[in-house]
Structure 1
C-alpha cells in the first residue's frame, strides 16, 4: 500500500540535546507550526505539516508530499518504494570484522562503512519496521485507529505461526484437546475444515488487496505511460472476494453479520435495534472487532438464535 499510495513521507529533527521539558517541547512545536504557516504563505517550503514524532518524545516530525517527478509534478513517486528497493539488511546487521575479509579496511573506509550501517538502521527503524509501517500508513490516511486495531489482531494471530507459539497449531486441528501418550512428530488429527477455510480466506483477501493496489496504480498512472488501464475485468474479480465471502472480517471490509448480531445482543438497546430495522443495520462504525480471530470465526459459521434475534450461518447446511 505504501509503495503504491504512500504519497507522504517525513523527516525528523532531534531536539534531545536541548533537554526540553514537556511544556517547553509543546511550545516549540507550536512555534515551528507557526513558522511553517509563514513559510507556506510565502511559498518557501514544501513541508505540509510539523508535529511531535509519536515514536520518540524529543523529536519533531516534518511531513512532506513527494517525491515528485520533475517532468510530471502531479505524479508522486512514493518514498517507501525507494526505501524498499534500496534497503540492504546485510549492511545493517552484519559487521565485516565478524566475517572473512580479503584485507583489513583502513580507518577512513571503516568510517564510511559505518555511515552505511547507520543509514540502513535509520531506514529500517523509521520506514520499514512493523511499527514504522503502521505510522506511515496512518500519516498517509490509509488506516485509522479502528483499522490499526484489526491489523494488530490479525498480525498477532498469524504471528503465532510465523514465530512458532506453543499449541497455536494444535488449536487449528480436529480433536485439539486429544493428547497421545506415545512419542510422535506432529499431530495425528488433521487441520479442521474451519481452519482450512480461514486460511483460504486470508489468501483470497490478501491477493485481492494486492490486485487492488496494482489496479489503482495503473488507473492513476499518467496517460503518457498508460493510456488505457484495462482493469474492468480485474475490478470485477477483486470485488467478488468481499461480496462472496463477507463473513470474514479482515482490514477494510465492513463487519460481518455475526459480529453485528453479537454486538447488538450484548451492547445495544432492543428499541434501537428495532429503529434500525434489525441488527444488520447497526452503524458499522460502532461494531468493535473481536480479537479472538479463530474462535470468533468458528462460531460465526453456525446459526444462532436468541429471544430477540436470529442469525443464519453463511454456509449452506450449517445450523
Structure 2
C-alpha cells in the first residue's frame, strides 16, 4: 500500500508541475488587444508569486518536510481566498456603528428595518442606486452594513473592479502595527505629523479588520455569494487543520509520522520516524487543488476581459490542465468539488435507510447536499485510502491501489 501511495504522490506532483508549466506557456497563447491594462499585469504577478510558494511546498515534500509544506499551504489557502475576492468579489460594504446609541436588540432590528425602507424609497425615486441593500453586520453587534457594487473602470464603465484588488495593493501592515516613536528616528515628528500617522494607522487597521483578515475574507465571500454555508464549513476545517502546522500546536507534526506514539528522547532535526506516505499525499493534494483554484480564477478573469484587452484569452490548454485535477483526484474533498465516494459511503452507513438504498441504488447515488464534511482532516483522509465493507451498502474500494 505504501508503494502505491508513493506512486500517487508522484502523480499529484506531476499534475502540479503540469499546471505550472501550462501557466508559464500561457504567455505565448494570449493575444493582446489594442489596449493594455496594468491591472492584469498586477494579477499575473500575484499568481506568479503564489506559484513560487507552491513550488516551495513541492520542494519541501521532495525533502520529506511534510509538516512545513502543510504550514506553507495555509498561506496558499489564505491567498486563494483573497484572490477569489480580487477576481469576483464585485460587492463591497461600508459599516455604520450605532453601538454607542445603547439600543436594545429589538430597537436595533427596528432601526435596521427603517434603514432598509429608506433605501427602498430612495431607489423608487431613482436615487441611491449605488447602494444595493442594507443588512446586519453579523460579525459585530449593532453595526449596519451598506452593500455597494464594486468600483467601475473609468475608461470602461462595464468593467467592475473588485475593491479587494485595491485593498490588497494598498495595505501596509508596518503602518498598522508599528509606531514610529518606538523605533529609530532621525528627528521627532511634529504634533501634526503624529496625528496624520495615527489616522493612517487607524485606516490600515480598519482595512485589515474589514477586508483582509481571515474573518473579513469569510464575510466578503458570503456577501458575494462565492461560498455557500457548506463551503464555508469546509474552508474553516481546512484553514484550521493547516494552521496547526503554522502556529504552535502540540502533536500536530508528530501525528503525521509512522509510529507516532514512539518517543525516543533523542536530540536531532525532526523526529526519528519518517512521515507516513499518506500524510505526504495529503500535503501534495493541498498544493495541487490550490494551484488549480488560483489558475481557475485567473483564467476566468482573462476569459471575461473585454476584447480590447485580450483578442484571444488563449486559455483552452490551461483549462484542460485545471479541470483534470478534480477528475483525476476525486477522493480529496477540498472547497468546491463534490463529496468523495468515501464520504458518501460513510454517510449512508450511519444515516441512510433501507428505503434510501432502494431510491439511490447504492451509496454512489446519495444526494450530495446530504453529505456533511468530516472535520478530522488527516485521520479521515487516511481512512478513505482503505477498503471497507458493509452488509447493507456493499464494498468501498480504495482509490489508490
TM over 0.5: yes
Q: Distance in 1 between matches of 2:126 and 2:92?
A: 19
In the alignment, is residue 31 of structure 1 matched against residue 114 of structure 2? Answer: yes
Once the two structures are superposed, residues 89-126 of structure 1 have per-residue CA deviations (whole angstroms, 9 ceiling, x without a partner) of: 00000001100111111111111111100000000001
In the alignment, is residue 12 of structure 1 matched against residue 90 of structure 2? Answer: no
Once the two structures are superposed, residues 44-81 of structure 1 have per-residue CA deviations (whole angstroms, 9 ceiling, x without a partner) of: 12000101111121210000001011332221111001
Structure 1 residue aligned with 2:159: 75
In the alignment, is residue 230 of structure 1 matched against residue 326 of structure 2? Answer: no
Tell me by how many angstroms 1:182 deviates.
3.5
Q: Distance in 1 between matches of 2:141 and 2:207?
A: 19
Counting only pairs closer than 5 Å after superposition, residues 164-243 of structure 1 correspond to structure 2 as 164-243=248-327
In the alignment, is residue 280 of structure 1 matched against residue 364 of structure 2? Answer: yes
Q: TM-score, normalised by structure 1?
A: 0.97
In the alignment, is residue 2 of structure 1 matched against residue 85 of structure 2? Answer: yes
Q: Distance in 1 between matches of 2:295 and 2:137?
A: 32
Which residue, 102, 109, 115 being the options, matches 2:193? 109
In the alignment, is residue 307 of structure 1 matched against residue 391 of structure 2? Answer: yes
Once the two structures are superposed, residues 257-298 of structure 1 have per-residue CA deviations (whole angstroms, 9 ceiling, x without a partner) of: 000000000001022122111110100000000000000000
Root mean square deviation of aligned Cα: 1.0
Q: Distance in 2 between matches of 1:277 and 1:105?
A: 75
Q: Distance in 2 between matches of 1:290 and 1:181?
A: 34
SS in structure 2 at match of 1:161 = coil
Structure 1 residue aligned with 2:66: none
In the alignment, is residue 124 of structure 1 matched against residue 124 of structure 2? Answer: no
Tell me by how many angstroms 1:237 deviates.
0.5
SS in structure 1 at match of 2:266 = coil
SS in structure 1 at match of 2:217 = helix
Higher mean C-alpha displacement, 268-277 vs 77-86: 268-277
Tell me by how many angstroms 1:218 deviates.
0.3
Q: Distance in 2 between matches of 1:221 and 1:71?
A: 14
Structure 1 residue aligned with 2:221: 137
- Give unpaired runs (5+ residues) of structure 2: 1-83
SS in structure 2 at match of 1:11 = strand
Aligned length: 316
Q: Distance in 2 between matches of 1:53 and 1:130?
A: 16
Q: Distance in 1 between matches of 2:86 and 2:123?
A: 27
Q: Distance in 2 between matches of 1:166 and 1:23?
A: 44
SS in structure 2 at match of 1:105 = coil
Once the two structures are superposed, residues 188-220 of structure 1 have per-residue CA deviations (whole angstroms, 9 ceiling, x without a partner) of: 111110011111100000000000000010001
Higher mean C-alpha displacement, 34-43 vs 197-206: 34-43
SS in structure 2 at match of 1:162 = coil
Q: Distance in 2 between matches of 1:181 and 1:30?
A: 64
- Give unpaired runs (5+ residues) of structure 1: none
Q: Distance in 2 between matches of 1:63 and 1:276?
A: 42
Q: TM-score, normalised by structure 2?
A: 0.77
Tell me by how many angstroms 1:12 deviates.
0.8
SS in structure 1 at match of 2:147 = strand
Structure 2 residue aligned with 1:297: 381
Q: Distance in 2 between matches of 1:71 and 1:106?
A: 41
Q: Which has the higher contact order (CA 8 A, sep 6+)?
A: 2
Tell me by how many angstroms 1:145 deviates.
1.1
Higher helix share: 2
